[in-house]
Structure 1
Amino acid sequence: MWMYLGLLAALFLGLHNLCKKHAVQGNAVLPVLLGTLIAGFLCFLPFFIGSRINPIYFKEIGFYINELAWKTHGFIFIKSCIMAGSWILAFYALKYLPITIVSPIRSAGPFFTFIGAIAIYNEKPTPYQWVGFFVIIFSVFLYARIGKKEGINFKRNKWIYAIIAATFLGASSGLYDKFLIQNLTLNPQTLQFWFCWYAILILLTILSIMWFPKVEKRKSFQWRWTIPAVGILLQTADYFYFKALQDPEALIMLLSAIKRSQLIIAVVIGGLLFKEKYKRKKLIPLAGILIGVFLILYS
């Protein structure tokens, strides 16, 4: 069951990436990110209020938001810091790079998660899983060669380094999620509500220094319908992902890889919508990534 929940998460993540590209293209990145976080937070606010007014009902329907100890809040705040950094880097990279380059690089996330799952959680990969992960990494290198044809030098372009750093932070957060869900026994809605709340506070702090005081930067922001859509789709994807993690048998390395099937939406549909170049050539490394994911599932 947890694998199917992972596929549902991948579906909503793929749609989320398309909306995110539209939201940040030619737009001010930080306020866009804040808008998506607020939209996601508002999705869970009724559950928080309802859990305080009528806790029995919300426990029955499975959307009760627990009261937490301050120590647990501290653990969630750490996740918010990690993901705020990852999102800021990823949003800036997506603004300046094609989605058909950004999404495949993000697909290297399972490799970092794979190493962490072995070292931290003692998850034991099969030979097929080993092959699958290295096929994914090799495919990412193929994307690097195609990227050069679009005038993107992977060694000199700072946004490439930004998306790599964002991928590493995202993978770290994925490993941390297993600790939060399984060790601290947090339910998805409780984690998502407080995570969004602390991420909003972090973004507001950054914006109050870097964006709000500067009139010219404020004028560069454009409201788009995809801004709230990004937040809603991401929280939906995360909900299914966290539900999958609640299963004691769920392997974080496999869940992380399954989520990469979102690339079908990002590369194929995204390449057509945003009229990006070399779409056919990008299908070859895309196939490699999907083969890697298949090998992991097959194992």
Structure 2
Amino acid sequence: MWMYLGLLAALFLGIHNLCKKHAVQNNETFPVLLGSILSGFLLIGLCYILSVCYPNYAEKNGFVFQNISWQQHGYIFIKGVILAASWLLAYQALKHLPITIVTPIRSAGPFFTFIGAIVIYREAPNLHQWIGFFLIIFSVILYSRIGKKEGIIFKRNKWILAIVAATFLGASSGLYDKFLIQSLNLNAQTLQFWCCFYIILILLVILGFTWFPYAVKRRAFKFRWSIIAVGVLLQMADYFYFKALQDPEALIMLLSAIKRSQILIAVLVGGIIFKEQNKRKKLVPLVGIMLGVFLILYS
């Protein structure tokens, strides 16, 4: 069952990525991110109000919010900091780079999990995992060659560095999720509600220094329907992902691989919608990254 929940999460994440590109294109990035998180928080907040006003109905339909300790709040706040940093970097990179380059690099998140397993947990990869490791490296090099044709030099482009850093932080957050859900016994909706709450606080502080005081930046912001869609789709994807993680038999590395199937929507559909260049050439390294992730996770 948890695999099907993972596929649902991947479907919503794929559509979420398309809406995110539409929201940030020629727009102020930080308020777009804040608006997206706020819209998602309103959705999960309605479920919270439902659980308070109609507890029996909420419990019957699986919308129970736990009372958690201050220590658990601290752990969730740490996740909020990691995610806020990851999203700030990812949104900025997506604004300045084609979605057909950003999403495949983001899809290499399990690569960082693989490195962490070797360095932190002293795991010994097998032959298939090593092949997958080098296949991902080779595919990213191919993307850099294609990127040069679009004026994107990987070594000197700060937005490439930003999306790589965002991917690393996102992979760290994914590993942390299993600890929060299986070790601290947090359910999906409780984690979503408080994580969103803390991310909003963090973003309000950042925007208080970087956006609110500047009238020029405020006028440059354009509200779009996709801002709301991004937040709602993300909450739906996270709900199914966290529900899958609640299953004791769920494998975080396998779930991570299933989530990466969102790349097909972003690259194939996104490339057509946003009329990006070299779509066919990008399919080769795309297949390479997906095959590398498959070898690492499924072996």
- Relative to the length of structure 1, the TM-score reads 0.94
User: 2:8·2:237 contact (CA, 8 Å) conserved in 1?
Assistant: yes
For 1:220, the equivalent position in structure 2 comes to 220
Shifted more, 113-122 versus 171-180: the winner is 113-122
Q: What is the rounded CA distance, in whole Å, between the counterparts of 2:169 and 2:271 in structure 1? A: 26
Residue 7 of structure 2 aligns with an amino acid whose one-letter code is L
Q: How many residues align?
A: 299
Structure-2 change in CA distance of 1:55 and 1:109 (3 Å): same
Q: What is the rounded CA distance, in whole Å, between the counterparts of 2:54 and 2:127 in structure 1? A: 50
Q: 1:107, CA displacement in angstroms?
A: 1.4
User: 1:37·1:200 contact (CA, 8 Å) conserved in 2?
Assistant: yes
User: 1:117·1:123 contact (CA, 8 Å) conserved in 2?
Assistant: yes
Q: Deviations over 1:199-223 (max 9, x none)?
A: 1111111111111111000000001
For 1:143, the equivalent position in structure 2 comes to 143
Is there any run of 5+ residues in structure 1 with no aligned partner, and where?
none
For 1:98, the equivalent position in structure 2 comes to 98
User: 2:254·2:298 contact (CA, 8 Å) conserved in 1?
Assistant: no
User: 2:253·2:297 contact (CA, 8 Å) conserved in 1?
Assistant: no
Q: What is the rounded CA distance, in whole Å, between the counterparts of 1:195 and 1:293 in structure 2? A: 28
For 1:69, the equivalent position in structure 2 comes to 69
Q: What is the rounded CA distance, in whole Å, between the counterparts of 2:115 and 2:92 in structure 1? A: 27
For 1:56, the equivalent position in structure 2 comes to 56
User: 1:5·1:240 contact (CA, 8 Å) conserved in 2?
Assistant: yes
DSSP 3-state at the match of 1:275:
coil
Structure-2 change in CA distance of 1:48 and 1:118 (3 Å): farther
Residue 198 of structure 2 aligns with an amino acid whose one-letter code is Y
Q: Is structure 2 residue 26 aligned with structure 1 residue 23? A: no
Residue 27 of structure 1 aligns with an amino acid whose one-letter code is N
> Counterparts in 2 of 1:1-299, with a 5 A limit?
1-117=1-117, 127-295=127-295, 299=299
Q: 1:121, CA displacement in angstroms?
A: 6.9
Structure-2 change in CA distance of 1:143 and 1:274 (3 Å): same
Shifted more, 135-144 versus 105-114: the winner is 135-144
User: 1:113·1:256 contact (CA, 8 Å) conserved in 2?
Assistant: no
Q: Deviations over 1:38-90 (max 9, x none)?
A: 11101111221122223232122111111111111111111011100110000
Residue 195 of structure 2 aligns with an amino acid whose one-letter code is F
User: 1:111·1:137 contact (CA, 8 Å) conserved in 2?
Assistant: no
User: 1:13·1:262 contact (CA, 8 Å) conserved in 2?
Assistant: yes
User: 1:116·1:175 contact (CA, 8 Å) conserved in 2?
Assistant: no
User: 2:105·2:164 contact (CA, 8 Å) conserved in 1?
Assistant: yes
| RMSD between superposed Cα atoms in Å | 1.9
User: 1:29·1:91 contact (CA, 8 Å) conserved in 2?
Assistant: yes
Task: Give aligned-pair identity as a percent.
Answer: 71
Q: 1:245, CA displacement in angstroms?
A: 1.1
Residue 90 of structure 1 aligns with an amino acid whose one-letter code is A
Q: What is the rounded CA distance, in whole Å, between the counterparts of 2:189 and 2:60 in structure 1? A: 14
Q: 1:31, CA displacement in angstroms?
A: 0.5
User: 1:11·1:262 contact (CA, 8 Å) conserved in 2?
Assistant: yes
Shifted more, 60-69 versus 125-134: the winner is 125-134
Shifted more, 120-129 versus 252-261: the winner is 120-129
Q: What is the rounded CA distance, in whole Å, between the counterparts of 1:181 and 1:251 in structure 2? A: 13
Q: Deviations over 1:193-246 (max 9, x none)?
A: 111111111111111111111100000000100001001111111111111111
Q: What is the rounded CA distance, in whole Å, between the counterparts of 2:194 and 2:231 in structure 1? A: 15
DSSP 3-state at the match of 1:213:
coil
